[in-house]
Structure 1
Amino acid sequence: MLKRSRFEMRFTPYQQRLYGYAVAMTGDRDSARDLLHDCVARAAAAHNRPADEPAFRAWLFTIMRNLWIDQVRASQRRTLAIEALSDAALDMPVALESVAVNAFAVRQAFELLSHDHREVLALVDISGFTYQEAAHLLGVPSGTIMSRISRARQVLAKLLADDEPTIVSLSRATREK
């Protein structure tokens, strides 16, 4: 028989309450299960967990709340992007083609960036993390995030301003050997 981990023993008493909280926030049991799973994964991976039980419980609920906020923000960004694309398509059929071409150009330029630049842009500009959050996630000082973001944006802008089209391999593996 497998022995339960210390984390599992501490987490189990709060599992039903966390699930109820997730259902209340999401309004959907499937989404709530996904949110609970993400919360467990985030908490289990944490290196520093609060020692006393009231702080541990509050910490778990804070993790869940923050994950929910991140999901809502991401959903809002997707909705705004879809609405913008829909408005552009209604206003001018040619505008949609231009948006698609621009999106393709940005995607190609993004693929040409170094791993560090892609990673930091994905966290801050695409996923909406603050510099502090990105620094914490990557385990680097926030100044490093600021300089990487600045350099990555400069390189991306230069790539997009280049008049010569660049062909990007469909497989990143062939480029990063």
Structure 2
Amino acid sequence: MNQNSKQERFMLLFKPLQPRLERYALTLTRDRDEAKDVVGETVLKAFEHFEQLREEQAFLSFLFTIATRVIQQRKFRRADRMSENQIEDLFENYTAPDVAYDIQMLYEQLDKLPADMRDALVMAEITGLSHKEIQEIQGGSLTAVKVRIFRAKRKLAKLMGSTLYDEDVGVQSLALSGEE
């Protein structure tokens, strides 16, 4: 396959997933510049290894697996935590202090979840991936993904101070729904 047709095929698959990938990266990095870097590095690695992709239906899994690894590698390399300015920048679009506080608390508590639970929850509730898509990315069974998400929601609710866990109440109401 020549370089132009490879690039065209790649972009055809990537474009519809770009907003979800950006939202996923922003949610896990909590820094716009860092998220852009993660997306850029993910796209570069995905394009470099695009020939290894056997089925185009697996592209979403391929892309999010790379993104997850890039984020994990960057977290290991970066020793410093978010500065107060970065946190303020994240919430600059919100005028209600209680909403900004709730979101900040949500992100702090998300960090306390085991990585596989946190990633599954973020992919399901914030990025909007289906359980099947998450299973393709994380591996394991579909039931394991559902259990991971359920346990993550329950643990997050407990960490957030909720004494009752309502299955119908997800973190989506606290998510950065305006980020697309």
Which category of TM-score, normalised to the shorter sequence, fits these structures? 0.3 to 0.5
Q: Which has the larger radius of gyration?
A: 1
TM-score, normalising length: structure 1: 0.47
TM-score, normalising length: structure 2: 0.47
